[in-house]
Every structure is written in structure tokens, then in C-alpha cells.
Amino acid sequence: MKIGLISNFPVGPRYNGGAMTVWGLYKAYKEKGFDVSLILLCEENIDKELFENCKNFLDLNVVKHEIVFFQNKRKFFFIKIKSLITSLIFKTPEYFFYEQLNLNEKIKNILKNKKFDKIICYHFDALSSCYLSNYKIVCFMGDLMHEPRNARRIIFKNSFFLKLINEIEKFISIRVTINLLSKFKNIGFCANHYKELIEKKIWNTKYFRVPLVKPDQIVEYNNYNNVNTILLIGDLTGTVTISSIFYLKKFLNFTNNEIKQYFKFKIFGSGKIIDEFKNLKDYKCVEFKGVNHNLKNEFKNSSILLVSNDITVGIRVRIITAMSYGLIVLTHSSNLNGIPELEHNKNVLVFNSVKELEDLFLGIKNSRFDLNKISKEALLTFNKYFYYKEAVEDLEKKLN
């Protein structure tokens, strides 16, 4: 069987959550003995180091792939308004994915020449590039089109005008989403709350779990007395990471010196630190560590992953990745919407407020939680639901 995977560039066991998800799909089908090819959409102005790193990885692993480039130009106001009106009236994705929409003819020709038996498309930007073709496509969707940009607008300011813009974009996004997905038989989201929303309009919408590879090391919490390193991970310019750091800043302003003297907060990620966060450097307990291509070296039994975003955008693959190591995760309850497999004091620790987060830190400091048990449950949860072989088996059962 010939299988085609359409997604964004890059793809691999790191880079970002989408890249890791598609890599899990690729490995699962490849190990089943299928002929698998990647069709990757890539911005022309992509970072050269990132491009060369991923391209070398794909070549080294003899991955069949074709890269389709597009130019992400800055749009004039008139073009934006025209795209908005077009998307509103015709329910097409111009307003959100203008460049990708214009790739439809090119992708259609590639699919025609490749003659795939199965095509899996990851995320809406990739789907926008191929939805006009007449092929049967498995739609494996990530964030809703409007959510990252809408959430970003109101992190620091929450005015009536911004709320109005968000409601308009949400309305258009849902119309476009229903129109695109209704063309296909096999539809799923890797965030459960999106599945629950869209299935009200399209009854056959499924929940597809993220397929990830296993790491080569496991964290074991045998001694709780030295758990004092808190990790935050993500692109510093990304919406969810900004939300997480903003929540950390709020927490540090709230909590007492006992927490700030005992724990060290290490923030890893590429991108420029925005002005609103520069004064975090004034806290002796906070370190901005920049990019680290070997983060697994930070996953130790003295470490915990903090995922403090209080916005419900998509799912956090970083949570599932940490669980694959057995790393303890402290997560805001917002992340349980997308990943219903998470349970407080079973496989993660969950908080709803800065006060609850403070209580969790004090509980960790005073060894009130059985971290070893939570770590083992996290591993069991990962192996049962998100290990790439199990996740793809579950996916196949849900396909028509």
C-alpha cells in the first residue's frame, strides 16, 4: 500500500509538536511495511539551519519526501479585507491560509502522479492546500484556524474591540472548518475538545491521539528531596508559551520567598524574549536558557515540567513527550480539555489557580506527593494511548 502524508515542514522526532506527530505517523506505517512518502509545505524564507537540519535528517533516514515551497508575503489591508469577505461568503480558507490555498493545483498534480492508496493530511494549513482535489483524504487536524491568533490577542489586553474581532474570526473559522471537513469521510482532531465541538455539526468527527516515539531513557523519582528544577519549554514567540510565561510571572508575583528560594525555573526555547517578560530576569530563580537541542539531558529526577498556559488552544505535545520519559508534569487544568487522559495526582499534577500551584510546589518540596507512582502512571498512560504504534492502531480502527 502506498501512503502519502501531507503536512508542514519540518518533520522529525523533535522541532515541534506537529513535526513529532507526523513523524510518529510515518514510522508506524513504515514499520507496517507500507510505501510511505511525505509531501511537505515549506515557506521559502524558512530558517536555513532548521531547513538543512531537517533535510539532512530525512535524507539520512531515507525518507521519501517532496518539498513544496510557498512564499508567505505580507498582505496589504485591501487583500486582508477581500480574503475575509471571501472566506465569510464562500467558506473557503483564504483569510487564514491564503498561500496554502493557492497550492491546490500543484498538490493535486503530485497526488495524481503518486497514485497513493491512502492520503493523510495533518492540520488545516496542509488541508487548505489539497481540499479541492477529489481524493479521499484522512483529515488529522490540530488547532482550529482562529484559536492561536485569537488567544494571543487577549493575553495582555482584553478590550471589547479585541473580543469583537475574535468573535468575527471565530464565526468565519467555524464556517470554513465545517465546509472543508464535510467533503471528507474520515475526520479527526488530536484535541478532544475540538472533536466535541465539531461533531455537533459533523457527526462522524473522531478523536485521534497523537502518535509519538519512545525516548531512549526513563526518569525515576527515587529521592524526592532534590526535586527543585522546574522546566518551561516552547518557542518564546509562540502563543501558548507566552501564555505559560505570563502565568509564571503572575505566580512569582503572588507566591512567597520560600518557593522562589527553593525552586529554579529554567525556560528553554528559541525566539526573542518579549518586553513584557524582560523583568523576569530580575528574579534569581528564573533563567532563560535559549535553544537546547538535547532537552532530554534536562529530564532528570530533580526536574519537573511546568505547563502553565491557561488558554485552551489545541493540545500540548510537550506534556505527552514528558510523560513518555516518566517526567512529572504540573499542568493548568486548561490542558485537560484537549487531553482527557490526564488525571490529577494520578499521571500529572493539576492546578486551576496560582494558589493551587503554590500548594503543589509546597507539596513537592515537603514530599507530600508520591512522585514515583505518578511518574510510573504517566509512562503507563503514554504506552497505552500515545506510543506511536498503539495510537496508529487506534486511528486505523476509527477509519471508515
DSSP state of 325: H
Residues of the chain with CATH 3.40.50.620: 2-208
Q: Are 233 and 308 in contact (CB under 8 A)?
A: no
Characterize 136-174 residue by residue with b for buried, 16 or more Cβ atoms within 10 angstroms of its Cβ, and e for exposed: ebbbbbbbbbbbbbbbbbebeeeeeeeeeebeebeebbb
pLDDT at 77: 80
Count of helix runs (H) and strand runs (E) in the chain: 15, 13
CATH code for the domain defined by 2-208? 3.40.50.620
Topology (CATH) of 224-386: Rossmann fold (3.40.50)
Q: What is the DSSP string of 233-300?
A: ES-TTSHHHHHHHHHHHHHHHHS-HHHHHH-EEEEE-SSPPPGGGGGGGGSTTEEEEE--TTGGGG--
What span, in angstroms and rounded, lies between the C-alpha atoms of 261 and 225? Answer: 15
288: left (phi over 0), alpha (psi -120 to 50) or beta: beta
| Beta-sheet strand order (sheet of 286-290) | 286-290, 264-268, 229-233, 303-307, 328-332, 349-351
Q: Is residue 5 within 8 Å of residue 118, measured between CB atoms?
A: no
Sheet strands side by side (includes 2-8) = 64-70, 35-43, 2-8, 118-122, 137-141, 186-189, 205-207
Distance CA 166, CA 208 (A): 27
pTM tops 0.85, yes or no: yes
Using an 8 Å Cβ cutoff, are 38 and 335 in contact? Answer: no
Q: What pLDDT does 160 receive?
A: 85
Contact 264, 230 (CB under 8 A): yes
Per-residue pLDDT in tens (0 to 9) along the chain, 400 residues: 999 999 999 999 988 899 999 999 999 999 999 999 999 999 999 989 999 999 999 999 999 999 999 987 777 788 888 999 999 999 999 999 988 988 999 999 999 999 999 999 999 999 999 998 878 899 999 999 998 888 888 887 778 888 899 999 999 999 999 999 999 999 999 999 999 999 999 999 999 999 999 998 899 887 666 889 999 999 898 899 999 999 999 999 999 899 999 999 999 998 888 888 888 988 999 999 988 877 888 888 889 999 999 998 889 999 999 999 999 999 999 999 999 999 999 999 999 999 999 999 999 999 999 999 999 999 999 999 999 999 999 999 999 7
C-alpha cell at 291: 535553544
CB 333 within 8 A of CB 351: yes
Helix (H, G, I), strand (E, B) or coil at 139: strand
Burial (CB count <10 Å: 0-12, 13-18, 19+), residue 225? exposed
Give CATH 3.40.50.2000 domain extents, the chain: 224-386
